[in-house]
């Protein structure tokens, strides 16, 4: 009796390439959340409660305007940026070296902003897989993080002070940004424009988060979570219903 013909091993289906959208997804989440909070703040049903806490009625308009500008910038960037998935060995080494400097700062930020839902974590790109991003995007993240830790002038304090992050760590980050921004093949004009646009988007998203937080704090004051009947209102402002707003 002839041996049965062995069943050939099927060729595995090629894995789909991962679309690099981590940072952009966080940007879009902030746009969505900021607009939702602005809409809640302009709802006539919430006007009286907000008025009692002297709410700045210009904040929703500021959010709407900035969100629109940022969304337009994201659309333009998406349309012009080449979807490069294969980095050179030089770019990979530079990106990974930057991530190595950023990682301890992200750990310190997690120690300070302990709530997993704290919007300040987005400012440090926590939960976003930078290892799948381009060198330019990691450079932009590094610059955004550095600018939160370095005072704009000697007369003002930095935006954040993180536990265990001192001058040495901040200097190392600044040096890495300088080294790996200039230590790779010079980008063309379009790449320079894209990098500048991405940096502006990151800055705008940070401003949006700050404006949203101001509105949420006013809503928190006007509708404390222990007050009966405010759960739906708190949800409309993206506030937790079983505890106060962190921070």
pLDDT tens sequence across 44-85: 999 999 999 999 999 999 999 999 988 888 777 665 544 455
55 part of a folded domain: yes
* Average pLDDT score over residue span 208-232: 95
34 part of a folded domain: yes
Domain containing 98: what range? Answer: 89-184
Instruction: Specify whether 109 is located in the same domain as 178.
Output: yes
3 part of a folded domain: no
Instruction: Specify whether 126 is located in the same domain as 79.
Output: no
Tokens of residue 189, six digits: 């004009």
37 part of a folded domain: yes
16 part of a folded domain: no
Tokens of residue 51, six digits: 């008025």
Share the mean pLDDT of the chain. 81
7 part of a folded domain: no
69 part of a folded domain: yes
**DSSP line for the chain:** -PPPPPPPPPPPPPPPPPP--HHHHHHHHHHHHHHHHHHHHH-HHHHHHHHHTT--TTHHHHHHHHHHHHHHHHHHHHHHS-------HHHHHHHHHHHHHHHHHHHHHHHHS-STT-THHHHTTTTS-GGGS-HHHHHHHHHHHHHHHS-SSTTS--S---TT--HHHHHHHHHHHHHHHHSSPPP-HHHHHHHHHHHHHHHHHHHHHHHHHHHHHHHHHHS-TTSTT-HHHHHHTT--SSSPPP-
Residue 89 has pLDDT above 50, yes or no: yes
Instruction: Specify whether 79 is located in the same domain as 103.
Output: no
Domain count of the fold of the chain:
2
Q: Is the pTM of this model over 0.85?
A: no
pLDDT band (50, 70, 90) for residue 129: confident
247 part of a folded domain: no
Q: Which residue has the higher pLDDT, 105 or 88?
A: 105
Instruction: Specify whether 150 is located in the same domain as 103.
Output: yes
Instruction: Specify whether 113 is located in the same domain as 147.
Output: yes
Tokens of residue 158, six digits: 């930095």
Measured in whole angstroms, the distance separating CA 53 from the mean position of its chain's CA atoms is 29
Q: Which residue has the higher pLDDT, 133 or 162?
A: 162
Instruction: Specify whether 178 is located in the same domain as 218.
Output: no
Instruction: Specify whether 132 is located in the same domain as 167.
Output: yes
Tokens of residue 120, six digits: 């300040």
Span 27-53, pLDDT tens digits: 888 899 999 999 999 999 999 999 999
Instruction: Specify whether 111 is located in the same domain as 41.
Output: no
Instruction: Specify whether 180 is located in the same domain as 110.
Output: yes
């Amino acid at each position: 009796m002839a041996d049965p013909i062995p069943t050939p091993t099927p060729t595995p289906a090629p894995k789909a390439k991962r679309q690099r959208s981590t940072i952009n997804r966080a940007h879009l989440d902030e746009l969505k959340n900021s607009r939702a909070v602005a809409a809640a703040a302009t709802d006539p049903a919430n006007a009286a409660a907000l008025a009692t806490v002297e709410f700045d009625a210009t904040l929703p308009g500021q959010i709407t305007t900035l969100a629109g500008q940022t969304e337009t910038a994201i659309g333009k960037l998406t349309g012009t940026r080449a979807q490069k998935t294969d980095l050179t060995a030089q770019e990979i080494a530079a990106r990974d070296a930057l991530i190595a400097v950023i990682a301890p700062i992200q750990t310190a930020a997690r120690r300070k902003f302990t709530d997993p839902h704290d919007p300040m974590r987005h400012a440090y790109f926590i939960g976003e897989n930078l290892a799948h991003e381009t060198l330019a995007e990691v450079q932009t993240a590094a610059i955004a993080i550095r600018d939160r830790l370095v005072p704009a002038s000697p007369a003002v304090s930095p935006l954040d002070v993180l536990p265990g992050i001192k001058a040495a760590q901040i200097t190392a980050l600044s040096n890495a940004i300088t080294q790996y921004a200039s230590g790779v093949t010079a980008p063309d004009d379009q790449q320079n424009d894209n990098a500048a646009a991405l940096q502006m988007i990151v800055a705008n998203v940070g401003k949006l988060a700050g404006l949203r937080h101001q509105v949420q704090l006013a809503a928190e004051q006007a509708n404390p979570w222990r007050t009966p009947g405010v759960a739906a209102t708190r949800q409309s402002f993206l506030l937790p219903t079983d505890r106060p707003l962190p921070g």
